Homo-oligomer: A and B are copies of this chain.
Amino acid sequence: MFATKGFAQTTVRDIADAAGILSGSLYHHFRSKEAMLTELLSGFLDGLNARFTEIVESGVDPQADLDGLIAESFRTIHRERLAVALYQNEASFLATVEGFEFVAERSRDNEALWIRVIEAGQASGAFQASLDPALTYRFIRDGVWSTVSWYRPGGRHTPETLAEQYLKLLHAGILA
């Protein structure tokens, strides 16, 4: 519900109704509405970081690493669609909220990891040296992760076709 309606727009009563209990009873399980958000987001971010780290640590070369990160991103969008949407929608708001510093931290870790891969690719001659690594990272990140706003499992696309199409565009560009 946080993902689809937004955290602020979701009432504790909404959640309790969906759970089949009264709103007051939720406080037996969570200390606050924010605590529910924390649990959802930290679980998601921990898992994502672990998988990203694993990809890079066991990687062979920068291009394979970048392709792997992108493919894993699309798989994550497929597997944890609502968590991704929640993160996309609320991350900027949470950046300033006390107790949610871990969200910005995890984001910075991810950014550093991706940029290191891009820079390694430029150093090895695999990637164009004239591209700004930070900028390139953001363009890729936004293009990939925004997919969550329109991707629907069971629709025309699978995580695999999305990755394939995206990588084709990213590798060789749009020009024939």
Bin chain A's interface residue count.
35 or more
- Tell me the smallest distance from the CB of A82 to a CB of chain B, in Å: 14
A174, B175: Cβ atoms under 8 Å?
Answer: no
- Decide: B169 and A139 in contact? CB cutoff 8 A: yes
The one of B139, B147, B168 that contacts A130, using a Cβ cutoff of 8 Å: B168
B135–A165 CB distance below 8 A = yes
Q: Chain B's nearest CB lies how many Å from the CB of A129?
A: 7
B residues within 8 A CB of A126?
A: 175-176
Task: Verify if A132 is at the interface (C-beta below 8 Å from B).
Answer: yes
How many copies of this protein are present in the complex? 4
Check if A6 is an interface residue, CB within 8 A of chain B.
yes
Q: What is the distance, in angstroms, from A5's C-beta to the closest C-beta of chain B? A: 8
A174, B170: Cβ atoms closer than 8 Å: yes
Q: Which A residues, 23 to 67, have Cβ-Cβ distances below 8 Å to chain B?
A: 63, 66
Closest partner residue, chain B, to A93 (CB atom)? B6
Question: Given the complex, which residues of B lie within 8 Å of A169, measured CB to CB?
Answer: 131, 136, 139, 170, 173
30 contacts between A and B (CB under 8 A): A9-B93, A125-B176, A126-B175, A127-B174, A127-B175, A127-B176, A128-B168, A128-B174, A129-B176, A130-B168, A131-B165, A131-B168, A131-B169, A132-B165, A135-B157, A135-B162, A136-B165, A138-B147, A139-B143, A139-B165, A139-B166, A139-B169, A142-B142, A142-B146, A142-B149, A146-B146, A169-B170, A169-B173, A171-B173, A173-B173
